[in-house]
Amino acid sequence: MPAILGTGEHRYRVVENFAKLPDGWQLTDVASVAVDSKDRIYVFNRGVHPMVVLDREGHFLRSWGEGLFSRAHGLHIDADDNLYCTDDGDHTVRKCTTDGKVLLTIGIPAKPSPFMSGDPFHRCTHTALSPKGEIYVSDGYGNARVHKFTPDGKLMKSWGEPGTGPGQFNIVHNIATDTDGWVYVADRENHRVQVFNGEGKYETQWNNLHRPCALCCCGGRSPTFVVGELGPGLAVNRKVPNLGPRLSIVDAQGKRIARLGGEEGPGVASGKFLAPHGIALDSFGDIYVGEVGVTDWKTSFPDEEMPAAVRATRCLQKLERVRE
């Protein structure tokens, strides 16, 4: 029987072996996912074929990005089905069509700004759009900043610095916006999501999250959010229960509505997570989860060899909403 996660109206059935790839292909660390207006799934991964496109049933449609991307990290799709691909390996954001044509590049490939300089980019992580089409970029591993660009890629402003206070960041890992223009930033190692207005003014923060990694805004005027939380990264607390990895569904004030998994730590059994790094929803409300726990297997399982089947099947999960 497929595993069921969640309770009440937030119940999801795990779809086993969702991705049906050509013979000999495999996904490697799915950093992010996006769903277009036709419910096609774009799987941004760190394998030989960086962008794999599937239909809603998981059938392979095409791939692109071979030779273009250095290290997949973030993926966002706009209302016109343009894809914003954040590559933390070469410090760029590329706006692409659904068949891989590059329309805009922000950043200089393979030329990072100085570490913690505040200038874009040093290992940028993700993007989001304002209601006017302005581009927010979280930046990231080698910076502690959010940058705001015009739709054609001109820098407008930046905010943030290293630290733990309001408006400071400790790995600014993901970013999302809503229809009112609020900006939500996954401040991963500070265990919180910070909320800003469109000009970078700090408003509030959501606590009681464990290393928020993925962040997906769902809905219109009263949105909910799905947050992918990583589990412990230290040997001393690796086996502590109730710390994830897991998905949490929260409202626009950060109040938890539901939680999916995470009670017993990481795992590869149905209904468990390794490292939920990217999240997207389709028009049916089903959730697609990209995970990056394969190449970092030893962090979660230092004394276990990875089963061969895990590498082939475990980097992308589909959670189908239970409809009763």
CA atoms within 13 A on the CB side of 71: 10
Output the pLDDT for position 301: 76
DSSP 102: E
- DSSP string for residues in 192-207: EEEEE-TT--EEEEE-
Output the pLDDT for position 99: 96
Q: Could you give the 3-state DSSP secondary structure of residue 71?
A: coil
Contact assessment for residue 247 and residue 229, using Cβ atoms and an 8 Å cutoff: yes
Output the pLDDT for position 1: 76
Closest CA to 287 of 260, 257, 324, 252: 260
Cis peptide, bond prior to residue 140, ω within 30 of zero? yes
Mean pLDDT by runs of 10 across the 324 residues of the chain is: 90 94 93 98 97 98 97 98 98 98 98 98 98 97 98 98 98 97 98 98 97 92 93 87 95 95 87 94 96 77 74 83 86
What's the token pair of residue 171?
């790995």
Q: Rg of the Cα trace of the chain? A: 18
CATH of domain 4-321: 2.120.10.30
Cβ-based neighbour number of residue 310 at 10 Å:
15
Q: pTM, whole model, 2 decimals? A: 0.96
The domains of the chain are located at: 4-321
In 239-315, which ranges are E strands? 246-251, 256-260, 276-281, 287-291
